[in-house]
Amino acid sequence: MDKKTGILDLTLSKRTELIKLLLAACILAMGTSLIANFLTEYFKAKMIVSLILGGILIIVVVVYFIYTIISEAEKEIEIEGLIAIEKKSKNVCPILRYEFSENLADTMSAVFLENEALKQYWEEDFKNKKTNDEKKEKVNNNSESNEQKKEDTGYYAIIRVIDDKSSKEKKKADKILEETVEYLIIEQLSMHLSTYFNNYGQDKFIKEYTRTDFPEILLQNRIVNLLSTPFEDRAIFVKAGMTKNPPEGEIISIYGNDGSRFTRFDLVLPKGSTIKRPSDGILTVENNRIFLQIEIKYGGFASALPKGFEQNYLGLDIRDLDTRKLDITLRYKIKPLALFYRSKWNYHNWVDSFAERLIEYLSFGTFVHNVNWEANLTSIITANQRRRILKERSETENAKTENNDTVSNN
């Protein structure tokens, strides 16, 4: 993220510009007052009016500049991700080089390996969906048999779907996906903060928050609770003998050959920070200077892949794939009173770089751009056309050769 696009750098630079402007205004005012001294006798009777008018003008200018700074101290970013699910296996299909998709597939495999109940909830929702699809297909087949004599006409329907959250309860499979996405975002935040504060050492202004500091998140998110539970308290690692001869040093994460995993849940943040989960799919990080909110919106709605992507990149038929849309809204701002702080902003600059990291990690559009899919698709189409032409030419030449051989034999 460019320095001028991050709200911390941008806002602080605006604040510096305001201070410079006020100093320049004071110097200019002093010079102007010296020039205007000779007019004071003429305006002596109107000095109070002039003072009030001048004060109002100064206040208006200052308020205007403060407003521009505060209005630019808040940012909202919309990120659109994509989740691909194979219909036959009911598993999340990992899209190679799309980091979020690969991590999502691995994480859900690890969860289902340890928690049979969550796996059953996931599969039951897909069975119900499959049953409904089969019923629809049966009705369509009956309708087609009754309309055989009519002209075969195809139709496309454009439908607007209104998601009424008050009357529609989320399916269990959707809740599992949402909680898994939430876990992955927390994991990315944890890694980003650890990297950012890596060189700070035992700094008195930062603190490492562990899973015991976030009881509400552990209670409300089953995925976070399961995968961050200490490995010595989990049967899958106890049976594997991990607790008998644990490796030396502090264990950050464990990845088993069977797909099992453990990730330590810790966030390094400025002291006084709070991490909350006010409702499903919403995470907040707040301290006396900044406020960060991450909102996950997943309704199970369908999404479209770029042309030719499923066949040429995933190696799957479009009918075997269920693609769904994932929306992430990132909101962060500098609190108004924090603008009066002059130092220690280096403890908060991680917000802008984390926003950049989240876009790189989650955005499917960014992934498509990075792999240069449009150019690659053009190359694939060109190569296929060339192979087709060469094949047709070869078949034509073979046919001519066979005809010549037949004529010679005759």
Same domain, 216 and 273: yes
- Own/partner contacts of 123-129, CB < 8 Å, gap of 24 or more, are 123/90, 124/172, 125/171, 125/172, 125/173, 125/174, 126/87, 126/90, 126/173
In the predicted structure, residue 44 carries a pLDDT above the cut 80: no
Q: What is the tens place of the pLDDT at every residue in 18-32? A: 666 666 667 657 656
> Of the residues 20, 39, 71, which one is the last residue of a structural domain?
71
Which secondary structure element, helix H or strand E, spans residue 218, and what is its range?
helix 215-220
- What pLDDT shows up at residue 33? 65
Please provide the DSSP assignment of 228-259 as one string.
HS-GGG-HHHHHTTTTTSPPSS---EEE-TTS
49 and 63 part of one domain = yes
Q: What is the mean pLDDT of residues 39-63?
A: 64
Residue 401 lies in a domain: no
**CB-based burial label for 87 (10 Å; 0-12, 13-18, 19+):** middle
Helices 350-362 and 7-36: angle between axes, nearest 10 degrees:
140
Closest C-alpha to 77, from 369, 359, 367? 359
Residue indicated by tokens 């055989």: 148
Looking at the predicted structure, is the pLDDT value of residue 271 above 90?
Answer: yes
pLDDT over 70 percentage in the chain: 75
Domain end point (choices 51, 71, 91): 71
Rounded Cα gap, residues 159 and 144, in angstroms: 22
pLDDT surpassing 80 at residue 46: no
**pLDDT at 199 (0 to 100):** 87
pLDDT at residue 250 greater than cutoff 70: yes
Q: Which residues contact 6 (CB under 8 A, 6 or more apart)?
A: 349, 351, 352, 353, 355
Q: Assess whether 84 and 15 both reside in one domain.
A: no
Q: Summarize pLDDT for 301-344 with one digit per residue, the tens.
A: 889 999 999 999 999 998 899 999 999 999 999 888 887 788 88
Three-state SS at 96: coil
Between 247 and 195, name the one with better pLDDT: 195
Domain holding 366, by residue range, is 77-134+169-370
Please indicate, yes or no, if residue 115 is contained in any of the structural domains: yes
Residues 251 and 275 placed together within one structural domain of the fold = yes
Both 261 and 327 in a single domain?
Answer: yes
| Distance between CA atoms of residues 217 and 224, nearest Å | 8
Domain end among 71, 97, 113: 71
pLDDT mean over 59-75: 74
- The residue assigned the tokens 């943040």 is 269
Looking at the structure, tell me whether residues 199 and 234 fall in a common domain: yes
The whole-number pLDDT of residue 376 equals 92
Residue 11's CB: how many other CB atoms inside 10 A?
A: 22
The pLDDT tens digits of the residues spanning 387-410 come to 889 888 888 887 777 776 666 665
Q: 227-260: string of b/e by CB count within 10 Å (b at 16+)?
A: bbbebeebebbeebebeeeeeeeeeeebeeeebb
Q: What is the pLDDT of residues 350-401, one digit of tens each?
A: 999 999 999 999 999 999 999 999 999 999 999 988 888 988 888 888 777 7
Exposure class string for 20-39: b at 16+ Cβ within 10 A, else e = eeeeeeeeeeeeeeeeeeee
Alpha helices in 147-214 (DSSP H): 172-196
What's the angle, vertex CA 81, arms to CA 76 and CA 86, rounded to 5?
165
Contacts of 330 (CB under 8 A, 6+ apart): 76, 77, 79, 292, 293, 294, 295, 355, 358
pLDDT at residue 31, as a whole number: 54
64 and 81 within one domain:
no
Total of domains in the chain: 2
Are 13 and 119 part of one and the same domain? no
Q: With respect to residue 51, please indicate whether it lies within any of the assigned structural domains.
A: yes
- Residue whose tokens read 């059953």: 120
Average pLDDT, the chain: 81
pLDDT value at residue 125:
78
| 26 plus 130 within the same structural domain | no
Q: Are residues 113 and 16 in the same domain?
A: no
In tens, the pLDDT along 132-161 reads 555 544 545 554 445 544 445 554 444 444
Query: Which residue in the block uniquely carries the two structure tokens 């603190």?
Result: 207
What are the structure tokens assigned to 190, written together? 């944890």
408 in any annotated domain? no
* 301 is a domain residue: yes
Mean pLDDT of 57-80: 78
In a domain, 397, yes or no: no
Rounded distance between C-alpha atoms, residue 129 and residue 338, angstroms? 51
390 found inside a domain: no
What is the DSSP secondary structure assignment for residue 314, as one 8-state letter?
Answer: I
Percent residues over pLDDT 90 in the chain: 42
pLDDT in tens, 171-218: 899 999 999 999 999 999 999 999 999 988 888 999 999 888 888 887
Q: Report whether pLDDT(233) > 50.
A: yes
pLDDT computed for residue 390 by the predictor? 87
Shared domain check, 324 and 242: yes
Please check whether residues 212 and 281 belong to one and the same domain.
yes
Q: When comparing pLDDT for 3 and 277, which is higher?
A: 277
Task: Please determine, for residue 110, whether its predicted confidence score (pLDDT) is greater than 80.
Answer: yes
* CA dist., res. 72 & res. 62, Å (int): 16
Asked, for residue 346, whether it belongs to a domain, the answer is: yes
